A and B are shown apart, each in its own frame.
Chain A
Amino acid sequence: MKPRLPLLAAILGAALFGGCNTYHYYDIDVTFMSPVTETQVSVMKLCLVDVSGAASDTLVLDCPPAKFPDLGTFEYATFADSGTITFTFNGFYDLPQSSSNQCTSSSTSKTASSQITQTGTITVTDFNTTNCPQNVTTTP
């Protein structure tokens, strides 16, 4: 029985103190900044965040954003603890998503590490009014 105790202790130690998956959290805030206006943002119908690099994912945010200029903060969880993770916010005028109806794109990168929680900000500062025209109301 005695020889099994060190093995059990090693397994438990590995499970508790390393060598296994550990969640890392990225709290990313999305903010619109001038010259982007609330009216412009309100025409977007699809808001996506592409996660690339050490992690890969596509996140769907509520669109059009309910708040302006600070859309809010989302949290992304991953086991990645090395490399660079890039979060790219893409706003589209309509579905399906394409480069011809893309309104805006902004990103931020974070370096994955042993740090459990990292914060970041995506600041949206440009808006393509050609791809995403404002709704025009005409009077009869």
Chain B
Amino acid sequence: MLPRRKRSHGPRVGVGLALLASLLLISVGTPWSARAAEDDEAPKASVPDAPQVEDTDKPKDKSLLAQTPADAAVAKKNQSDNEAFYQKWQFWAVSGAIAVGLVAAIWGSLTLYHSLNGGDVRPCNPTFINCYGQGEPNP
């Protein structure tokens, strides 16, 4: 005698769930179903198409369009960022400082070199018949 097979309901339940899911997806995905949720809203008046050149986003409040100090600062910064390096005062300040420093360094070096080599000979005493030797114009 063969054992009695246990009856299984799995395939039937699976098919039922698949059908239910399909119905839900269809009902959510269709436009009429979406509009159905808004059916209680009043119908909107049709808005005529605005010309493309007209900026409908432009605010009516003029104060919003007025430039603020922050805008001016940003504009100034952008302008300064666009300047060439030689148009900036910092460039000329640094260049001037370097030039002055260079001249001072050269002058100081020459003075130091001259000093290391004895410096200037003292002026010739006018009562002397002449002055000679190192540093003197006379041979």
* Residues on A facing B (Cβ under 8 Å): 11-12, 15-16, 20-23, 25, 27, 51, 55, 57, 59-62, 71-79
Contacts and interface: CB of A to CB of B under 8 A. Distances in A.
B134 to A, nearest CB: 5
A57 B134 CA distance: 10
Contacts, number: 69
Given A23-B121, A75-B128, A15 B135 contact: no
B116 A78 contact: no
B134 A78 contact: yes
B116 to A, nearest CB: 4
B115 A23 contact: no
Interface string B9-49: 00000000000000000000000000000000000000000
Interface string B110-139: 001001111101101101111111111011
B127 A23 contact: no
Most interface-central of B119, B125, B130, B139 (chain A CB within 10 A): B130
Contacts of A51: 133
B135 A75 contact: no
Contact of B134 (A11, A61, A77): A77
A27 B128 contact: yes
A123 to B, nearest CB: 16
